[in-house]
Amino acid sequence: MRNKVIAGNWKMNHSPIDTRNFFGKFNDLVKENNHEIILCVPYIDVAAALESTENTNIKIGTQNLNHEVAGALTGDVSVKMLEDIGIKYSVIGHSERRQYHNETDDFVNLKIKAAFDHDIVPILCVGETLYERELGIAKEKIIIQIRKDLEGLPANFARKIIIAYEPIWAIGTGKTASKEDANEACKLIREEIRKMYGNDVAEEVRVLYGGSVKPTNAQELFGMSDIDGGLVGGASLEPDSFAQIANFDKFSMNIGEMI
Ligand code: 13P
């Protein structure tokens, strides 16, 4: 049985003070939770987040990293710096970075390998645009991303990766992929991993869905055969809503109250 991953991506939101306030409330709400809970916070919040979650079941990640260890790269934060302060996860290849920072699959591939070399588990994001979906080439896009982003990655690392299927048209739009469509895409990713690495690795890799996940749809999405949890943007910013998502399997009756 794969352990579920409930990951939050704060994007460019929350200050260190907000971070302390968030965990001041959130930690208690998920203390009985057995899923892998990860909050990917802005760099400036990392110290506050690590301090606020010491001795809890909550893990802290970043939203990006530079694959170089050090150098003349103004404004970047290196994979080694993150390793040194105890970061164990990082989002890599988010569509917003691919779109606004011109991150190519080649770069994403370098970052994934560097992350593993420094004991950081990548949360790799893949997914199609609305245009690609309407053209009927969503599957091809996802397969190409998986192939290029994981190229040359050894199986002992591949088995630990977390992959998030995030259809770009569902991010921050309030539009969620249907649970069947989301499951089909996550299954497609797993099948591609099976072709590349074989059965054992494919059955171990966690594949998440991301795109307008909310307390009201988390349970139906995370209950699907190939969806191993979620990567949550907007709804991870408030302790109550993110805790309801993380505790999706504990509140089956009160959907109405959760809205
Ligand atoms: P939303 O949950 O706000 O749609 O964002 C999804 C996302 O991009 C997470 O990485």
Domain boundaries along the sequence of the chain? 5-258
Q: What is the mean pLDDT of residues 211-237?
A: 97
The predicted model scores a pTM of 0.95
Closest CA to ligand 1's atom 1: 233
Checking if the pLDDT of 233 tops 60, the result is: yes
Catalytic position from the list 14, 67, 94, 118: 94
168 Cβ inside 6 Å of ligand 1: no
Residue 252, pLDDT score:
54
**Distance (Å) from CA 172 to ligand 1 centroid:** 6
Average pLDDT, the chain: 95
Reduced to 3 states, what is the DSSP secondary structure of residue 201?
Answer: helix
Q: How confident is the model at residue 177 (pLDDT cuts 50, 70, 90)?
A: confident
Categorize the per-residue pLDDT at 1 as very low, low, confident or very high, splitting at 50, 70 and 90: confident
Active site residue 238: no
Helix (H, G, I), strand (E, B) or coil at 89: strand
Chain Cα centroid distance, residue 251: 23
- 5-258 CATH fold: TIM Barrel (3.20.20)
Q: Which residues of 194-208 are buried (b: 16+ CB within 10 A; e: fewer)?
A: eebbeeebbeebbbb
Q: What's the angle, vertex CA 181, arms to CA 98 and CA 192, rounded to 5?
A: 65
Per-residue burial over 171-186, b = 16 or more CB atoms within 10 Å of its CB, e = otherwise: beeeebbebebbbbbb
Q: Which of 36, 83, 132, 166 is catalytic?
A: 166
Least confident of 2-11, 68-77, 173-182: 173-182
Task: Report which of 126, 222, 145 is spatially closest to residue 183, judged by C-alpha positions.
Answer: 222
